[in-house]
Chain A
């Protein structure tokens, strides 16, 4: 073990980290849509800015474009279980939960927002 820690600065310099130091990267079910409304890298970093901006605009001004709506995310990223019931995106291992557990960021969206698509879902809400 001691030898690993001695080698760590060298490994970091060379861009190689021992697997035991890294946690498993989050995995989640594949989205249904063809591609995301923004590049994946942008979404990973800035999704909450999009969601927050869109949410405020919708609540305060009634702007209901679907592009950055939470309902839009859920529409693509929620999946069904073996009984074809929807699994909430906030359930363990699902789209939202997997990354947020990894990053240790607790989200509060789904105490109010529906975490599964609705049959007569209207985009942009």
Chain B
């Protein structure tokens, strides 16, 4: 115990000083910060558990018939449609819903929900399906054996299996036959402080129905907006705690 106390004391001191310093930084001026906590990480730094990437989909702003997000995703990841739609990869899809009683219609995109307790990760026999420290759920295609258990486990039907040899992949998005894939939250962009392609496209189309950000950052735009508007997660009854939230369902 004595040894333990000795080893923890300096650490506590350090933490105390560090948090005091952090307080100074945070309270530099009201609404202003010297250092943005959700800033891009350096290239040589691992994804941090202090961040949880998430998204708010505003169904009241999403426009029926608009496929800007779907098309941007396909371009970004080199996803090409074949003449066999049943085998085409689908990382993001538009869903139109009609309330039969009221006649109210809404449109919304559905993609990998980047669950905290992801069923795809739980069932994967090889560990290929995994959740990055910062909450992004991915497939490590180096270890994926293409068994497709994850596709069956996913309540959101977010994953696709690649049945054919692919050509013309993008450098930042390796994809190939015999592996399962799904939305990566454009992890290659996120690591470089850029928004996912779908979010960028939605904003460029003037709809601003997609807001991407750090759910853990209380001062961030995403957490603030989630604090202001009513929102819900898809199939929240399953307890998967998705990182994607929806407003206006």
| Chain A interface (Cβ < 8 Å from any Cβ of B) | 55-57, 59-66, 71, 74, 111-114, 117-118, 121-122, 124-125
Contact = CB atoms under 8 A, between A and B. Distances in A.
Interface in B28-69: 41, 43-47
Overall SS of chain B's interface: loop
Contact of A62 (B47, B165, B169): B47
B43 A65 contact: yes
B192 A113 contact: no
Interface in B172-187: 172, 174-179, 187
B43 A61 contact: no
Contacts of B187: 62
Given A61-B47, A65-B44, A114 B142 contact: no
A122 B192 contact: yes
A60 B175 CA distance: 16
B141 interface: yes
Contact of A125 (B168, B171, B176): B171
A59 B191 contact: no
B188 interface: yes
Contacts of A61: 46-47, 132-133
Interface string B189-212: 001100000000000000000000
Nearest to A61: B46
B140 interface: yes
B170 interface: yes
B176 A111 contact: yes
Interface of B: 41, 43-47, 130, 132-134, 138, 140-142, 165-166, 168-172, 174-179, 187-188, 191-192
B46 A114 contact: no
A68 B41 CA distance: 19
24 contacts: A57-B46, A59-B138, A60-B130, A60-B140, A61-B46, A62-B46, A62-B191, A64-B43, A64-B191, A65-B44, A74-B171, A111-B176, A111-B177, A112-B141, A112-B174, A112-B175, A113-B169, A114-B168, A114-B169, A118-B170, A118-B171, A122-B171, A122-B172, A122-B192
B42 to A, nearest CB: 9
Contacts of B133: 61
A114 B171 contact: yes
> Which of B142, B174, B175 has the most chain A CB atoms inside 10 A of its CB?
B174
Contacts of A111: 165-166, 176-178
B172 A112 contact: no
A117 B171 CA distance: 7
A125 B132 contact: no
A60 B132 contact: yes
Contacts of B188: 64, 122, 125
A114 B168 CA distance: 7
> Which of A66, A74, A114, A117 has the most chain B CB atoms inside 10 A of its CB?
A114
A94 B45 CA distance: 34
B62 to A, nearest CB: 29
Contacts of A125: 171-172, 188
| Closest A-B pairs by Cβ, 6 of them | A112-B176, A61-B46, A112-B174, A125-B172, A62-B47, A118-B171
Given A55-B142, A112-B141, A112-B169, A63 B174 contact: no
B47 A112 contact: no
A108 B113 CA distance: 30
Contacts of A57: 46
